[in-house]
Amino acid sequence: MHHRLMKRVYTALNLPDAHLLRDLLQHAGIAAHVFNENANSLIGFVPVTAGLPQVWITQVHQEQHANAVIADYQTRSPTTVTRQCAACAESSPGEFDSCWNCGAVFSDTTR
């Protein structure tokens, strides 16, 4: 009897999304890998979906658990809270601890 050892569980729109989901799966105890990391250069020569990053799990029996992690990830709404940096006046997402632009560390009062 043939057993599939790996299964694609997610196709991402971009590489950071794929890596974030892979990290969430690994944090949940699910071995996962990102494939097609460098395939974006193929877009235009192959169907668009063929060049998108994919997240695969190594153990098919963990698919249900992986799907639950993915569903939780997809239902999270992005934060709309921002922080304004006192040093350079740039806005950063609320969950950042330091300014994306100049690196200044936020105090708790900048939330």
- CA–CA dist 67, 69 (Å, integer): 5
- 13, 23, 75, 107 alpha-carbon torsion, rounded to 10°: -110
Burial class (CB in 10 A: 0-12, 13-18, 19+), 95: exposed
Indicate yes or no: pTM above 0.75.
no
DSSP annotation of 19:
H
Q: What is the mean pLDDT of residues 80-96?
A: 82
Architecture in CATH for domain 7-75: 2-Layer Sandwich (3.30)
C-alpha angle with apex 54: 50 to 59, nearest 5 degrees? 130
Is the pLDDT confidence value at 31 over 50?
A: yes
Domain ranges of the chain: 7-75, 79-111
Q: What pLDDT is attached to residue 93?
A: 77
